[in-house]
Structure 1
Amino acid sequence: MEQVKSVATQRPKSNLREQLQGVKLQFIVMAAVIVIIMLFFSVMTEWSYLSPRNISNLFRQTAITGILSIGMVFVIISGEIDLSVGSMMGLLGGVAAILDVWFGLPLPLTIVLTLIAGFLLGLWNGWWVAYRKVPSFIVTLAGMLAFRGILIGITDGTTVAPTSQAMGFIGQSYLPSWFGMLLGVGSLSLYIYWQQRRRSMRQQYNLPVPMASTSLVKQAAVGVAVLSIILVLNDYRGVPTPVLLLVTFLIVGSFIASKTRLGRRVYAIGGNIEASRLSGINVEKTKLSVFAMSGFLVAVAALILSSRLGAGSPSAGNIAELDAIAACVIGGTSMAGGVGTVIGAVIGAFIMASLDNGMSMMDVPTFWQYIVKGGILLLAVWMDSATKARR
């Protein structure tokens, strides 16, 4: 058994080094893509694309897909897929609107009930996949159809509107300028402190550390980027509340993926499920946890969507699952499982939102938007397959 655990958990140093280099290259490529997209749409829209108002809208668009992609990336890393998140988001958004409009429940109770419903729907998907051994493609495809049908049934195919003013706080409010800047400076201070502490700990255990100048440049670049974004957002109305939620779940998701036992088990299962099972990992419980976490995040995205729309619509969340999957793949997540990062998925969501926003501003026909997004998804999967074959 000890030998099996060693095989399941050890990685050759050369492979680990190559993987880290691949991650760095992936982030460089994504940064270059973002710059190209920004410049292209800025020129095509006479620089209105970079106006503070549009940047604010762009980040709000990113929030919903980004939160969905955080849950999706864990599902894909574990070697599964979830095609039901779009319909589930529509259903949960409809439930939130019904609780708010028809029953007039207080906002905190509406939020709690919606989050519980999302968690339970995620458990439902996970139970079929983990314990009934039904392929996740089939389970979530069935969920995609069933959840949409339930939504149409409970709303009778009509839009539930208008939601209350309190409900609008989730997706339509903004942080005060001073508070947004205070949060940004505080977060950067914690980030720099954590980086310095991590560096000192690695030195203490005689582990390799990057040059001090390299670390300083990295921290300065992160600080300039964060403060610049906050200043641009403050120039319009402030940091949108959905963006704050996205950043919060990004930090929590990254911590779970890299610093917790659950995260390590998810990567292990996606990399080699049989070795993980033989090494003592409870595969079924881990997969159930992953789908439950995804369902919870879908509920959060549903609350933001209904709040932003001011209604629960039978068509809400249509093909949102494809945007989430595309965001993960563009962000470097392997469809074969075992490889991916939370921050990469969120950056992928930002790229998808940038394309949507730019093409909408240019009045590109809807069918062309679908074609472009489908082509980008195909290209990203092909690049992942080619990279995996080369490794």
Structure 2
Amino acid sequence: MNGILSGKKILLGITGGIAAYKSILLLRLLVKEGATVQVVITPSAASFVSPLVLATLSKHPVAIEWVKDDAQWANHVMLGRWADIIVVAPTTCNTISKFATGLCDNLLMAVLLSATCPVMIAPAMDEDMWLHAATNRNMATLRSDGHIVLPVAHGELGSGLTGEGRMLEPEIILAHIVQMVSGSKPLVGLSAVVTAGPTHEPIDPVRFIGNHSSGLMGIEIANALQAAGAQTTLVLGPTHLRANSAVNTIMVTTAQQMFDAVANVFPDTQIGVMAAAVADYRPATVADQKIKKQAHELALSLVKNPDILQHCGMNKSTNQLVVGFALETNNEAANAIEKLQRKNADMIVMNSLQDEGATFGSANNKVTIFEPGGLSQSFPLMSKQDLAKEIVSLIAKRIHEKA
């Protein structure tokens, strides 16, 4: 069967969670796209999804126990070496813990620990479990081991509550798989956080301090990082634009919300790209009611917002790379180099309002990238999509030099 996954060998692991019913649809999608799929499930998963259904759809026996019904040994080593990629969907909190610690008490765990190919996990659990410190530690371990950890979705959970922890929809998981196996991915096994868009700092319930940023440059960088194989989180300010569905997007409004989101994600990432046009200041107080027009003048007291780029630059480890942006109106190069040093960044991408066709809201940009040691590289006016690919290519080169 021809398809975008034609000729690819995929091992689908299924663990015992209510989201296992979605794995049937994922299996159908994989087969429809031409993949050869073998399924390995945990014993508890058989309570949620029928092995007969999985075997019928995959056209291969489903492996559950160490010993098959015909008294033959289920060769976990060969299964781990057979696949081009292993996808575990859903991956329960229990399995994540086992995988992170190397516990091997069922066939699927033996396959995972024998794998010589990329392993992608699609977590699924209740929100309290997802947010627990132990789960966060286990997820960080899996990422540091080079495994691909997909984000979770927000929605109705098995407990009846609504929140974070829902497994991604099969179509989105399929997109991640296709992206993973379809070409050169220089950032596979790495994770990134990107900021994009403006921030809005409220004055009262209807007014705010903001700017004209559309967020397009940062969104294209997030898309390019994801396409290069990095698990990418985009922290996006208020804009109508959106990144590709494979990018985990966190919507925020204010600079403080953006700072908090980045500070939470950054310690577990290797790449940080701060492309957002963050408001430097916010009103010291926010009026509860709309401010009525009375006096001829209105004075606002402003306080400084947290500096996201500087926080990342000053707290980065030796294996992390931090990229900032600088929009300049005069003394462009000197100001960009000073910012590079002051923020302890690895790169500053500088663009100027003096460059025609490269202003806020444009689909194009023209930049110069400055690095420590006096290195600089200028790019002509080009689409932000193409420029994002150039920036990510340089990021990939520099992050591998750090390794």
Tell me whether the two structures share a fold, i.e. TM-score over 0.5: no
Larger strand share, 1 or 2: 2
Q: Could you state the TM-score of these two structures normalised by the residue count of structure 1? A: 0.21
Q: Could you state the TM-score of these two structures normalised by the residue count of structure 2? A: 0.21
Larger helix share, 1 or 2: 1
